[in-house]
Chains A and B, each alone.
Chain A
Amino acid sequence: MTELYLYPVWLRAWHWLNALIFLVSLVTGISMHFSLGWLIPFEVAVPVHNASGIVLTVSWVAFIIGNWVSGNGKHYLINLRSLPMDLFRQTRYYVYGIFVNAPHPFHVSEEHKLNALQTMSYVGVMYVLMPLLILSGWAFLLSPSLPETVLGIGTIWIVAMTHLVLSWMLLLFLIVHVYIITTGETVMTNMRAMLTGWHRERGPQPERAGDDAG
């Protein structure tokens, strides 16, 4: 039985706040985009979406600063040498091993709390998609001061389409993210970890002696 304190309070607080903000943005965005007045009325959705977008920016900046200050950022460093093999193993597990009750190919440690797939997707989401989404959102917000056209295409169209495509991609991530939570040792392992901060696992190679827990 291993028990690791992986998620400090600030990280958990940030995660859940960020999740909330993202959900609000998503719902209001969908409501505006598809004119779903029954979901959120348009005149409510606009200011809420604007506000949540701004808060999301703050949240993202907080995440970057938090990672930098606390050293949590190291979990997002990709080990290029072992990456192909790690990815293969991890993918094989999700596609095959998980159904035959194979052991997890990756074990959480204080050094490595994210598996290769997680690292890849989180890096993609938090360091690529999210900033682009935020940037396009701000461009939207400040659209009157943008140039009218870029290469003959309306700037605001480019901005709108970027924002839209990124939103779709992040929605897809969200679906996977929510599901992957359940693929821990037990269905609730990962979820509990993000709530309490403690990652508990009956791993084959305990890093330190198990205590009374479990």
Chain B
Amino acid sequence: MTQQKQPKPDKPLRSKTAKRVAIVLAVLLVPALLYTVVYPVVFDAYTGVRNAPLTYESSRKLTDAEFEQLALELTEEDRYRQAAAVVDEDQDSFARDLKIEMLMNTRSVIADGGYDHIKYFRDAGIRRYEGPETCLQCHATIDVTHADGTVTTVDTLEDIVNTVHFKFQSNTGGFSTFGYDGRRVNAEDSRKIPVGKINRACGIPGSFSWTGWAALVETHPEGDGSHERIETLDRTGPVSEAPIEHAALAGEDGVLLRSEGCGQCHIGGNYHPATEKMMPVGDVPDTAKEGIDCLICHSDQYDMNQRYVIRDEVGLRWNQDRSMRAAMAVGRTSNENCLNCHQHNMGGDAYVHNMAAKSLGEKHPRLLHTGAKRGNPFSPQNDAHAAADIQCTDCHVPEGHKIPRGLKGVDLVANDLPGKEVACEGCHSKAPHTASEHRAILNGHIARMACETCHIPSLEDNNVVLRDWVHPTWDAEEGLWEPTDIYRSGEPGKGLIYLWFNGNGTFLANALGDNPEGDGSYDPLMQQIAEITDPEVIAAVRARAERLKEQYPDIDVDAYVKAATQPLSQLSPEMLEKRRAMIDANLKQAMADGESRIYPFKPFNAMMYEDMANQGPFGAMILPYDYATYYETGDSLAAMKTAIQDPIVKRMYQEPFKLYMMDEFMAYFGVEGGWKTEYPIADDGSLRNVEANWMRQMGTLMVNHGIQREGHDCTACHSPDGILDFDALGYPPERVAELESMDIVEEITD
């Protein structure tokens, strides 16, 4: 009965039964066939994303002899490291070397040293690392321990493919994020839409991950590299590093190709982010899964010099280290692995102790972003926990490949484990201060203040507060145009502000909370994060604007400063009125929820091109940049125009995308009437609805690392001009006076 297996038999069937069976089979087979064969092709054609088998030059087969030689090297290096960690550093270096050598050759260190996988690979005959395929030979499944202690066995590849590290999105609420329409984002009873870095452009990368995934930028570095150094301020003062001589690296034509894009910090090695995962059905193709970079997180010897953009016949993508050397040193994730990427959003690319920045790529070196996203590094030099060798995963306890981010947070990044706590209280008791004479009163402060408020006294100086993407500046040493940082500071009150926070945030990353003993005047979305009042900051912004005017004569300095420091001034009176009404009606409850405490936040605002057809009281849809055009020409408008011609942005302005995602997206965004599909480039090639604006309020990023043992002292806050503005925090006047005067405190010596 072969015809029974055919969904559409061309000759009449002999019996009714056979006919019925055929129909059932057809019903089952046809959709399956459509889904597995037709859908991916249609999807790729519609979105313009491309997939192809991925190869990497570093994935090379070793001979047995080479393998053994490498094994010996790695083992010795590891033994050396173990021994060196034990031998005191403060002694004669020659004597120290000898001691290390003695120690590393003791029987116990020889027995302990080296990497487990060398033996496994030797026994299994593995002489070449081919990506996930190689790992999965043994690790096809893993046991995942959940928070409640239960253990489940999951498919390893599926587990990793469904993490934020791979797909940059989730259809959970992230943290407890509220839309400006008052609904909780992706709440239980809502229609869930994918949210995360994949579709929420924010000011600091200046792009979507679709349009800014991987770029090769032609730079024209000037000079011999001696006149400028990569220099950054440590808290102890300026620290200079060896200069990176970009000019010397450039070719004969003076051109140096640099790598840039979101893909440098994400584990997929494909030509685009995991776009397929945005749809309710469909999966990334197997070829893309084979591009996952296991070793960047799991190898002790990952070479960041292999992490640069390469161009092949299909397009641009990120290279990775698939050498046997990296593979043989595979193991559990350590802080160094995490910091390969996360130094970017913590200490910043230009942070002096950023080890990954010392290996920018053997070719097409990665661009260093000199302004820091947060500027609170997790390094032994600048964080008490890192100094105590606490591992990232000690607090961010993973469940399989899902890493928890805690219950509180206000950024736009998706969260794999929204219900899982990561908090100081996980280790520290409710009475954490033990040594000080004032320990009881210090502990008392926890009732109203987060640990971070005192114990992150400041951020790195290169922490960006205001960034102008529209008016780029020429960086001669790097030989490219870069966005102009109008104001950078890590100082409390300037680049580090203090807000009430109960764990809720808005769709555009504004911390929500309220003063539990306030007089109702605390109003962050109209005041604290919607205006800059510090005269020193305003003066600095003005000074920078004046310098910018030299280059862009059109700039009206007064208007510029006003828009940058009072972004609400860009709203029409009606819009402002509406904003007020929406805050009162939609967000008051989210602010009053739970128990608010004072947290430190890194404030951030950016000037970007916006699609004003999709504007609401809280902002308009911002438009991305094409990195290469931007860095090479400094023509921000052209860069924006190039980026929005990306097929997927065009699709965004069409009906299916609107209905599937953008209407809901806009509702959360506070834009009424749904997504307007009027594409910003008209048929004649002219732009429409496009304006350059500062976002209508500052985003607030939570800062939790860079913890110092010594926090602020009492008078840092309890004095008339302390770093906490008690009045702005909504305290009634008599309580403000009480908090500022501290007349009952006689003397505190330390």
Do A and B touch (CB < 8 Å)? no
Q: Which residues of A contact B (CB under 8 A)?
A: none
Q: Which residues of B contact A (CB under 8 A)?
A: none
